[in-house]
Amino acid sequence: MTDLQSTPRASLVSRLYTRFEGLVHELGKFGTIGAVTFVIDTGVFNLLYHLMPPIAAGTVSMTVAASAAFLGNRFWTWRHRARTDLRREYALYFLFNLCGWGIAMACLWVSHYGLGYTSQLADNIAKNGVGLVLGTTFRFLSYRHIVFRKQPEHEPAG
């Protein structure tokens, strides 16, 4: 391949990266926070698994992980965004976490009670596999567009 053939492709990649640079950085930070809180969530879930029903263990583990995620996302992932009232952010964050929790718990419930896959491995796949992917996608979009929303670049003259 000659330099002439690779230049347009490199230019396209460069333009795409420039256009989506902020999103790429936010996704990277969100993913890092997510990886840390995944370990917290999975660890707490498995520690509690034999002490309480799976739904209760999942609820406790996700609450602990969500609290850690709020701090990481507010003060690292979206620290460059203007801050609104902390109570507003915290309330919305946990509302959307509750929705994400509902998505993960629905996956766990369907697998465990609906389909009868009752092993610890099946419960982890349902909650921490399928539920995690669906819930995380929902949470990222909600946090980015509603909780830690981007302020308008300039206010129109009135």
pLDDT in tens, 15-52: 777 777 888 888 899 999 989 998 999 999 999 999 99
pLDDT digit string (tens) for 88-112? 888 898 899 889 989 999 999 999 9
* pLDDT for res 103: 95
- Domain-located, residue 74: yes
- Domain-located, residue 60: yes
Please give the share of the chain, as a percent, with pLDDT higher than 90. 42
- For the cut 80, the answer to whether the pLDDT of residue 76 exceeds it is yes
Pairs from 88-96 (Cβ < 8 Å, separation ≥ 24): 89/147, 89/148, 92/142, 92/146, 92/147, 93/66, 93/143, 93/147, 94/66, 94/70, 96/138, 96/139, 96/142, 96/143, 96/146, 96/147
- Domain-located, residue 72: yes
Would the pTM of this model clear 0.85, i.e. be above it?
A: no
* pLDDT for res 86: 82
For the chain, the domain total comes to 1
- Domain-located, residue 13: no
- For the cut 50, the answer to whether the pLDDT of residue 158 exceeds it is no
- Domain-located, residue 8: no
Structural domain of 105: 22-147
